[in-house]
Structure 1
């Protein structure tokens, strides 16, 4: 057993990293259960497509509304306490939701309201969570540490959580959310046992929160590699979301795979990501980081082209497997690069800009995908994604060498502190 633990979470990463990993894995399991149970609960209350789609919107909307504010707060307060408070509020909301289900007073309004509140609490919890790693592990270990956290997301959230959530919902509507409460409580206990430096990383501050947000944006804009990485992430999320938004229709109407086949596509993607969890450490050690970034982005361009031209189901499944593999490597590597480059006192604000960029890109891309498919056909969004991602890659190809070693860039200076 000790050998397995060492392989998953090497001792050099420290005890607190192992506690953080356990906490995030438990939380991922609870979120994965809700990933299946949430839509089922919505469908049990309404058959309105508008209200069903509203549920998904209300989960992501808080990131656009509160993401930057949450990043500023994470850099002003005790981050460990911020996670504990936010996750405790999530538990309270879940308990209220469970109570309404058990007592039979649940309604679509209650469910939608709960989803918005849960999404809002998640913004603050996740923003602070993401600042922990640079406080716990050495810069050289950020890649493998991120890979281990992402392994829990893929295994427990995408693979295990959804079928467990659906099965528990079949037992009783309130059961999966009760289990999620238990996961949340355990995650809170684990986070409370981490030995992080007490208090805010910036010490006492007297600046306005809006000034802090502006300073975070100014820091990012003044750091060319980190700024370019943010622009790459926005653009590639727009192109990815444009094609992903109509993936289900493409699988049904072009590949003729049926509902089960669509599920196979998403499962293949998760399987690719799971394989990547075992390969990431070796790749980061043996392949130059710039080469690794170019390869991942290049494969993304090729994936869009493959989807645009293929009409064969098994080829699509292979492409999805490859997508899951390189997307995991890209996501882990890009996050580690950003964490290495950003000072501790800016991790919350710069990280929140990235989160807002990701969700903003997804919103824009999803809207574009629907419009493009409506006027150009089901495969048109894939051609758009191929052209857009390919052009972006050509424009940033040379800059990726600087991005890969953004932590070596000393041209940027932290903004001067402001009084008042």
Structure 2
């Protein structure tokens, strides 16, 4: 398999792909072990929930700044440096856990550093990919990376992380430190590309960030996609913020049943990564994007109506397929149309809108469900998606020609 990928996408992509697989296993291990570690230190629900928030917070604080630095610096070297620093931070946490000197403040600090590094490394990797993969192979490359994330992070790593924590609390964090070190070493062997990024006169950080914002909002199709997905994420996260209660009270599922319900996303996502490049070639970008909006609308409406677990599982598999197909299509489109020197900044603006909508939606969903019932957020999300589809239907028609 690796030889085939090397032949079709190049040896440099194979190194990036392998680095992504290794680091995704490490990330997933920490995602599973992190809450267990916090819960072993404190029983305060606010402090336990805060551990997730501090890792997400850097995207809201630094996404635009990180995008600017991604366009200023050598992207390959930046990924290597960030992964090395993340390995060092996790090594410190591993030693603290092993010596029983861990505090909530230390865990928060390490998780915040990991999240900050993610804003740089993920943005840089996405901007770096077009330099090592031909334009006509970008969809396939993105699909492989997303499939690797689904398998490594969601299927393999999370149960592994919990199991390792039971064996010894320090082990999962040491494993993650090792995966970041290996990923850094792999990316360091990718051949330097002198033309990436091109040297430009240095301007203020604020002006460079503004350039990225203006470029995105000046491009009609990408502006439409960014704004519509920010609103769609608001609707999605509002609907799914109370999914665990929905599964118990509406579908009658046990905790194990809820766990299986969550895996339907991963199953659908894996199928979507396989189908995405082929579907894009057969039906075209515009048709896929429009179909995705319909799938989101139908998903929310179905979950608002049904009380049958199998129906909910089936629609969530379809939704998982859509999310990966949409992701491959949009990322590939952005990599093809955005100038190389702006890829980091434009990508970071896009990410900020995505995550901003998700954060607001998570807050809104709990309020809606608490005030008017568990199905209310799903009905609201369906109405929002209907409005988004109506507003973007014509602009998305031009996507296939881009």
- The verdict on a shared fold, with TM-score over 0.5 as the criterion, is yes
RMSD: 1.3
SS of the residue corresponding to residue 378 of structure 2 reads helix
User: In the alignment, which of 260, 276, 280 is matched to residue 276 of structure 2?
Assistant: 280
**Is 1:84 aligned with 2:66?**
no
In the aligned structure 2, how far is the partner of 1:81 from the partner of 1:184? 14
Residues 321-350 of structure 1: per-residue CA shift (max 9 Å, x gap): 111111111111111111111010000000
TM-score, normalised by the number of residues in structure 2: 0.97
Task: Please name the residue that 2:292 is paired with.
Answer: 296
Partner of 1:40: 36
How far is 1:198 from its partner? Answer: 3.8
Q: Distance in 2 between matches of 1:204 and 1:26?
A: 34
5+ residue gaps, structure 1, are 407-420
The alignment status of 1:368 with 2:361, answered yes or no, reads: no
1:413 corresponds to which residue? none
> Distance in 1 between the 2:100 and 2:27 partners?
24
How far apart are 1:92 and its partner, in Å? 1.1
Shift of residue 278 of structure 1? 2.2
Q: Answer yes or no: is the 8 Å Cα contact 1:30–1:184 preserved in 2.
A: yes
1: CA distance, partners of 2:281 / 2:343:
25
Matches of 1:73 and 1:218, distance apart in 2: 17
> Do the aligned partners of 1:90 and 1:122 also contact (CA within 8 Å) in 2?
no
Report SS of the residue matched to 2:197. Answer: coil
Query: Which structure features the higher share of helix residues?
Result: 2
What's the TM-score once normalised by structure 1's chain length?
Answer: 0.93
Indicate the residue corresponding to 1:264 in structure 2.
260
**Secondary structure of the residue that 2:72 maps to in structure 1?**
coil
Contact 1:16-1:136 within 8 A present in 2 as well = yes
Query: What secondary structure is seen at the aligned counterpart in 1 of 2:13?
Result: helix
Q: How many residues align?
A: 402
Instruction: Provide structure 2 residue ranges, at least 5 long, that are not aligned to the other structure.
Output: none
Contact 2:2–2:14 (Cα < 8 Å) also in 1: no
Tell me the distance in 2 between the aligned counterparts of 1:263 and 1:405: 41
Who is 1:145 aligned against?
Answer: 141
1:50 and 2:46 equivalent?
A: yes
SS for the counterpart of 2:127 is: coil
Residue of structure 1 in register with 2:107 after alignment: 111
Task: Identify which of 2, 7, 15 aligns with 1:5.
Answer: 2
- 42-51 or 190-199, larger mean C-alpha shift: 190-199
After TM superposition, give the deviation of residue 405 of structure 1 in Å.
3.5
Matches of 2:260 and 2:233 in 1, distance apart?
23
Match of 1:409 in 2: none
- For the pair 1:400 / 2:379, whether they are aligned, the reply is no
1-side partners of 2:217 and 2:287: how far apart?
25
Report the Cα offset of residue 6 of structure 1: 5.3
Pick the aligned partner of 1:154 from 131, 136, 150: 150
> Comparing 151-160 with 284-293, which one deviates more in the overlay?
284-293
d(CA) in 2 for partners of 1:63, 1:247: 24
1:59 to 55, 58, 62: 55
Alignment counterpart, residue 235 of structure 2, candidates 235, 239, 260: 239
